[in-house]
Amino acid sequence: MEIHYRIHRPLPLAVAFRVEGFTALLGPSGAGKTTLLKALAGLLPAEGTPYAGLPPEKRPIGYLPQNAALFPHLTAWQNVAFALPQLRGADRERVARAWLQRFGLAHRAEHRPRELSGGEARRVALARALARNPELLLLDEPTAGLDRPNRDQVLRAILYAVEEHGVHALVATHDPELAHAADRLVVLDAGRMLQAGPGDEVYRRPATLRVARLLGFENLIPGAVAGYRPPHVEVATKAGILRVPGNPLPPGTRVVLAVRPEEVLIVREDRPLKPLDAGNTIAGRIRRLRRMGPVVEAEFEGAFRLVLRLPRHVQDRLELRPGEPRRIVLKPRYLQLFSEEEEASFSSD
């Protein structure tokens, strides 16, 4: 489904992209995500296709604002039944309960919204939106403020809706993990579309440093182009020459290398490295370790500081300790190269 929309108020926004299956709309707060969803729902004036000019009541959409917006005076099944005005009495209740059943919420049917957890409330809201048989779901931050189990359940519910009911879902989020689960990814910032494409591709190859940051590339390493050895650009950094895939750039160009904390790897000294990877190692010390649920976050200090995140089972094998010397490897395929001019053009936004 192609979306072409232009909005003037409350903020100017112009986008053109394709929604297919589960499409994530990623962007920082204030990027215009909510504005776009509301405009698609018909709650804000906009020009474009599809649906422009139709009142919200007539659009084949299902809209979930950030707080799920369940009707507080109705039970879970009555909330779903609200979307089924064409049915009467027992039929209406039966169909509403069946929708709850599909989302694993049959046992919560008689409960009011205030008795539901945040994740349950959003699943009820999803069931209610789907009960109308829409062609497009518009979900605003469906996992915001949820704990991990609830978040996973909501994500599964979205995937279920998309896969089993053939509905398209446009999901606004600033959660990179949710974005990674998407079939397609649209990156929005300050009313502009920065990048759109298949989820994995955008996730792996962000077009700009700004997009990379939004997608969890937390480590940024400044440097300058030193040469080109196909297919790698050689970049001089404080830690020496690092190789990164890319197109040739004039020597001396100021660049930034970006890498995710999850993709900085500790060298296992008992195992040989591939020659290419061996050139991208940096010696230094582990400064700090912090447990964060199933992952351990480590701070590495060599020629520059890097944040690492490793699964607990990896830490159990490596047994990193604060203060001990270690080498890390920045594998070329996990490195992204951005020129600094790009960066300058963002900060002027």
Closest contact distance (angstroms) between CB of 157 and another protein is: 14
Q: Which is nearer to another protein, 66 or 339 (CB)?
A: 66
The dihedral sign for the CA sequence 147, 153, 156, 160: negative
Q: Which stretch binds another protein (CB under 8 A): 6-14, 65-73, 179-187, 247-255?
A: 65-73
CB of 147 to another protein, least distance (A): 8
> Residue 124 interacts with another protein (CB under 8 A)?
yes
Distance CA 39, CA 33 (A): 10
Q: Is 171 in the site for another protein (CB under 8 A)?
A: no
Residue 67 lies near another protein (rule: CB under 8 A): yes
Instruction: Candidates 43, 159, 190, 273: give the one binding another protein (CB under 8 A).
Output: 43
125 binds another protein (CB under 8 A): yes
Least distance (Å) from another protein to the CB of residue 138?
8
> Are 277 and 260 spatial neighbours (Cβ–Cβ below 8 Å)?
no
| Token output for 180 | 């990674």
Got the DSSP string for 92-117?
Answer: HHHHHHHHHHHTT-GGGTT--GGGS-
What gap in Å lies between CA 100 and CA 90, rounded to an integer? 15
Q: Where in 19-38 is the site for another protein (CB under 8 A)?
A: 38
Contact present, 169 and 159 (Cβ < 8 Å): no
Interface with another protein includes 122 (CB under 8 A)?
A: yes
Rounded distance between C-alpha atoms, residue 302 and residue 318, angstroms: 19
Residue 174 burial class via C-beta count within 10 angstroms: exposed 0-12, middle 13-18, buried 19 and up: middle
Residues in the interface with another protein (CB under 8 A) total: 40
55 is a site residue for another protein (CB under 8 A): yes
Residues contributing to the site for another protein (CB under 8 A): 38, 41-43, 55-57, 59, 61-65, 67-73, 82-83, 85, 112-114, 116-119, 121-122, 124-125, 128-129, 132, 145-146, 150
